[in-house]
Every structure is written in C-alpha cells, then in structure tokens.
Amino acid sequence: MNLEMVMQELEALGKERTKKIYQSNGAQEPLFGVATGQMKTIFKKTKINQPLAEQLYATGNYDAMYFAGIIADPNAMTEADYDRWMDGAYFYMLSDYVVAVTLAEADIAQEVADKWIASGDELKMSAGWSCYCWLLGSRPDDEFSESKLANLLETVKNTIHDAPERTKYAMNNFIYTVGVSYMRLHDKAMEVALEVGPVEVNRDKKKSSFLIASEQIQKAVDKQRLGFKRKHVRC
C-alpha cells in the first residue's frame, strides 16, 4: 500500500463523533476521526513499514500520524528521528501515545527519554515520563537501574507540583507505574505518592482536576495487579 491508498482507507473509516472527541482533547485539522482499533485492518495490509510511516507522519493529519506510530520500525529510527517526530507532536495524544509509545520499543528509549525529561519543554517532558511508563509496564525489571528509577521518583516528588500541566499527568502516572510494575520500588513509590499528595491539574475551559497516585496504587494492590506487564506496547 502507498500513502494515497492508506489516506483513502483512513478517510473512509473516519466518524464525525470520534473526530469531535479528538478535537475536544486538542487534535486539530486535518483529521478524519478514526477509532484506533479500526486501524488494525489497514495494518494487516501495510505491516511494519518505516518509509510509509515517515510519509504518513509528515502529512500532519492526526489519524495518519497515529497510524504512522503503529507501522513504524522503532529501531530503524535514530535519536534525531525521534526528535523530529517530537517536534511535530503538537498535543499530548501525539507526544504520549504515538511518539513515546514508538520510542518505548526502541533500544535507545531510556537515553532519549532522559534527554526529553531534562528539556524543560512541556510535551517533551510528558513524552519522556510517559515513555518510562510504557517501558516499566512492558519490560522485565532487570532492564532498569533501581537507583536511577529511585532518583527519578525523587525528581517527581520535588518538582511535580511546579511542573507544566500536561507533564504533571505523566509524572503522576510514573509514580503509579513504578508502584505497580516495578516491584523493587513498590514501597518507595507509595511513600512518594503519599508525600506528593493530590496533584492539581488545570485544564482549558474545564474545572481543574486532582490526581492521587497513592489511591491508584492501592486500587491495583486491591485488585492483585502488582507486577503487571503488558505483552505489547503498541496495538
């Protein structure tokens, strides 16, 4: 399949209701409004295809950019490629659910995520923290440095309340994910969650919301989900 064929199939799958939901979360034109689950039918025809993924991402169409993440070859992409994709990710559904997810399947995931976390840029920081969440929720604990993750928890504890709004979500999710998916630091993650307390997030034109990682971790404990790992990061 070529670019034109994929764009035609995506357009045919678009729904106005889905489009409005995406737009309410920050998506901008152009977009069709394709439910992500429906993209699997196109994936069966394209398989992993990095050149096509690059063409799709460059369109600026939200649905095409999302599908690009599904068919990308994570280890064929360099740090510069990920930075370029990040530059095109204009809102969190792209930064955290396309770029960070694709990066999480790459060998260079941690080093790129570390750089983004230190960048000071809201969406890069959000993508960096989110990447760690995808990594921790899918890879064996042995692939991580316990001391490094402990230091990252300290960073979250000391900076989350002053972080940019979208970054707060990803940092809060990092506390939760360490507490649930990385058993060696479960207790520390719960300590940090309790010290951090409720995290207020201001949202455009909506009431601010409060994130409480300790309650989320406790729910996972109650449901006996500690140690949870997913088989695949991408759908």
- Summarised one tens digit per residue, pLDDT across range 136-152 is 999 999 999 999 999 99
CB 44 within 8 A of CB 65: no
Residue 28: per-residue pLDDT: 98
- Say whether 198 sits in a helix, a strand or coil: coil
How crowded is the C-beta side of 113, counted as CA atoms within 13 Å? 30
Alpha helices in 104-206 (DSSP H): 109-117, 122-136, 146-159, 165-181, 186-196
State how far the Cα of 79 lies from the Cα of 96, in Å rounded to an integer.
16
Question: Model pTM?
Answer: 0.95
pLDDT of residue 151: 98
Quick one: pLDDT at residue 235?
64
Q: What is the DSSP letter of 76?
A: G
Tokens in use for 8? Answer: 């035609």
Output phi, psi for 188, to 5 deg: -65, -40
Check residue 204 and give its pLDDT.
Answer: 73
As a whole number of angstroms, the distance between CA 169 and CA 130 comes to 9
Q: In the chain, which residues have pLDDT < 50? A: none
**Are 2 and 53 contacting, i.e. CB atoms less than 8 angstroms apart?**
no
